[in-house]
């Protein structure tokens, strides 16, 4: 069965600090990976996704993620965070058999001005 682990449950950073959120997955099929963000009181929004090709994926708002197959990882990065990046971040893997996303437990990012 597929699973996604996000080991950082709560991250607190100061503005301009660099960000890296960990995501490890377990899935036996073709890997399709996603990062979603949920700002307070808002809906889940797609940050970026990986299907194939270049393992370094760039998304919206300056985020990027790197797919490392040998490590079963898809970590999210941003060189310099802003206060507006305060949100919950979810990593997910597409279960192509069940045709649905399996999410990690989420990481709450708090950026202090």
Residues that bind another protein in the complex, under the rule CB under 8 A = 30, 32, 34, 36, 38, 42-46, 49, 51-52, 88, 90, 94, 96, 98-103, 105-106, 108
Is the CB of 33 or the CB of 111 nearer to another protein? 33
Strands (E), 1-113: 3-5, 10-14, 19-21, 24-26, 33-38, 44-50, 56-58, 64-68, 73-78, 87-95, 100-103, 107-112
Alpha carbon distance 22, 64 (integer Å): 12
Is the CB of 81 or the CB of 91 nearer to another protein? 91
Is the CB of 80 or the CB of 96 nearer to another protein? 96
CB of 104 to another protein, least distance (A): 9
For the chain, what's the residue count?
Answer: 113
CB of 49 to another protein, least distance (A): 6
């Amino acid at each position: 069965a597929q699973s996604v682990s996000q080991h950082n449950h709560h991250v607190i950073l100061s503005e301009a600090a660099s960000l890296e959120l960990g995501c490890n997955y377990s899935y036996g099929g073709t890997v399709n990976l996603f990062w979603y963000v949920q700002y307070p009181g808002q809906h889940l929004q797609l940050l970026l996704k990986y299907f194939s090709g270049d393992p370094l994926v760039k998304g919206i708002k300056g985020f990027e993620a790197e797919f490392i197959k040998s490590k079963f990882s898809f970590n999210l990065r941003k060189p310099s965070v802003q206060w507006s990046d305060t949100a919950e971040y979810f990593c997910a893997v597409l279960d192509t058999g069940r045709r649905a996303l399996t999410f990690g437990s989420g990481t709450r990012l708090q950026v202090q001005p």
